[in-house]
Amino acid sequence: MKEKIISIVESNGKTPERLMDILLAVQEEFRCVSDEAVSLIASELGISEADVNQTKTFYHFFTSKPVGKYAVYMNNSATSVMSGMHEVVDEFENQAGIKFGETSPDGLISLDYTACIGMSDQEPAALINSVVFTELSREKVKKIYADMKAGKPVESMFSEYGDGNNADPLVKSMVKSNIRKAWPVCLGEYEVGKGLEKALATDSKSVIEEVKNSDLRGRGGAGFPTGLKWLFCSQEKETPYVMCNADEGEPGTFKDRILLTERTAMIFEGMTIAGYAIGAKEGILYLRYEYRYLKAFVEKVLEDLRSKNLLGKNILGKGFDFDIRVQFGAGAYVCGEESALIESTEGKRGEPRNRPPFPTQRGYNNKPTIINNVETFCSAVKIIENGADWYKKLGTEESSGTKLLSISGDCKLPGVYEVEWGMTIMEMLEMVGAEDVQAVQVSGPSGICVPPAQFDRKIAIEDLPTGGSMIVVGGHRDLLKDIVLNFMEFFEDESCGSCITCRSFNMILRKQIQRVIEGKSIKSDLDNMVAWGEIMKNTSRCGLGQSSANPVFTTIQNFRDLYESMVKDVEFKSDFDIDKAIAESCEYVGRPAKVHE
């Protein structure tokens, strides 16, 4: 073990900055990062064990005890639950004879949950040793477990692959792309290198100017003007970095998965154009570990680009040097926040930084850094290729261009749709074949729960802004239990905890929602929940805490009647349950634990 760990540390440059890669390699090799391994890594890197543990214990996929030979991570997001996750969980537990959270005594299989793995259009889905299994059912679980018993490699447990590059020899995945609608920006015709060639034919200022004129805004959800971000960064003195945020973690979104599979070169081309525009030499794609199955493929695309001289030294003979590496995460939603993503890339806990300074001033390695979403880079390629005017013709006055929507939940045609900004929710529901809809969750848990009375609202930055997650909630669902509680549990799990209001109020609000569901709440509890959520929103450091009360806010606001039907209209109701409190002693003396008959 010692030699192996030393060689892993050495092959990663023997620097604490690559701690993520080191820990990932150790976890994959030994199925855990044991205390012994932590100790070795610490002494090899010259840092304290406490420091190694800080990073290790932050991420979901690093474990202290070995996971099973087959490590099952079941997605427990709302759409997975809506698609029958509990049946699948039950079957896994029956077959393996263990509960979720446990490893079988023979070490064959471990069962655990994980947050959304970006497969909301084909749930219930799970990762088994980082191979994706979609549309699981009791029958499929039985077969998978039989294969495990027989010792089959995970990759050979299935032979039908998904469409497009999912069937590529380097991917061989059962994942389907489910592209339902393509517009000419991200999912239309694409010829590799055209945009870059055009960019390199002009000066860097004109590239930024073109992107600025297109009014392109960040596609991750925050909507910051992309051209402005590039401009700010280009004005800094030091050599900047380009980073691509492929940590698509907002439950219900999976559109970046499609771009990573079908428009891989386009993403890198966009990063290279950005690098040219701001004067960078190096780019980093931060890829969530849930998409580990794309690793070999993505790296091959980088190789291809290098061999075509679209990446590397003296790109297209224009004297511009730029290269890209892939950095994997290890399971933490908060790393989608750009400064947390930088911390993680530096080998640390993914805790958001304080601002100022902004990443464009001091980002990765304390150098100016732009971080854009996968879709933003793809859009930039087409903007350069076809011009800002062409782009601005698409969309609305205030939201130019197209948006990829990841649509899932109760509809006939879940998948990815590239649409022009400005589509109404009603039009969207018709497009996906959704009937009897109770609500649409726009932009994931941190977004808005939209009721039918507002279905005429537009999907646009000026009305309903979105990073692309759209979860359709049918009339038969229990909105509070299936959606709101699930989302609050998610935030409670994913808060990094380093700013204590987010750490604590998500817990408090989750418990309050649970009380409403259990019929233990009174009317004034609703106002309290809103007031407490306000405090979290106003005092939290990053977007997670500032938006994580939204499931509570937007449902209390839009579904007040539902809440009021579930709470008691009294002044006070004690939480103290005397029957429960005396149950144990009553059992000893053989008396029924009932004070009030």
Q: Which residues bind another protein (CB under 8 A)?
A: 39, 46-51, 53-54, 57-58, 332, 349, 354-356, 492-501, 503-508, 511, 528, 532, 535, 538-541, 575
φ, ψ (nearest 5 deg) of residue 498 = -75, -20
In whole angstroms, how close is the CB of 107 to another protein at the nearest point?
24
Q: Which residue in 468, 389, 359, 418 sits closest to 212, CA to CA?
A: 389
Whether omega for the bond prior to residue 445 falls within 30 degrees of 0, making it cis, is no
- Give the count of beta carbons closer than 10 Å to the beta carbon of residue 288: 24
In whole angstroms, how close is the CB of 26 to another protein at the nearest point?
18
The residue written with tokens 């976890």 in the block is 27
Integer Cα distance of 502 and 544 in angstroms = 8
In whole angstroms, how close is the CB of 43 to another protein at the nearest point?
9
Integer Cα distance of 381 and 31 in angstroms = 40
- Name the residue nearer to another protein (CB basis): 422 or 545: 545
Integer Cα distance of 314 and 318 in angstroms = 6
- Name the residue nearer to another protein (CB basis): 456 or 534: 534
- Name the residue nearer to another protein (CB basis): 438 or 512: 512
In whole angstroms, how close is the CB of 593 to another protein at the nearest point?
22
DSSP 200-241: HTS-HHHHHHHHHHTT-B-TTTT--BHHHHHHHHHTSSS--E
For residue 407, CA distances in Å to 255, 342, 524 come to 9, 29, 36
**Residue pair 423/183 in contact by the 8 Å Cβ criterion:** no
In whole angstroms, how close is the CB of 532 to another protein at the nearest point?
7
- Name the residue nearer to another protein (CB basis): 281 or 511: 511
- Name the residue nearer to another protein (CB basis): 193 or 329: 329
Cβ-based burial of 326 (10 A; exposed 0-12, middle 13-18, buried ≥19): middle
Beta pairing, strands 369-373 & 415-420: unpaired
For residue 433, CA distances in Å to 64, 122, 437 come to 46, 16, 11
In whole angstroms, how close is the CB of 57 to another protein at the nearest point?
5
In whole angstroms, how close is the CB of 23 to another protein at the nearest point?
14
- Name the residue nearer to another protein (CB basis): 332 or 371: 332
- Name the residue nearer to another protein (CB basis): 178 or 501: 501
- Name the residue nearer to another protein (CB basis): 355 or 393: 355
In whole angstroms, how close is the CB of 81 to another protein at the nearest point?
20
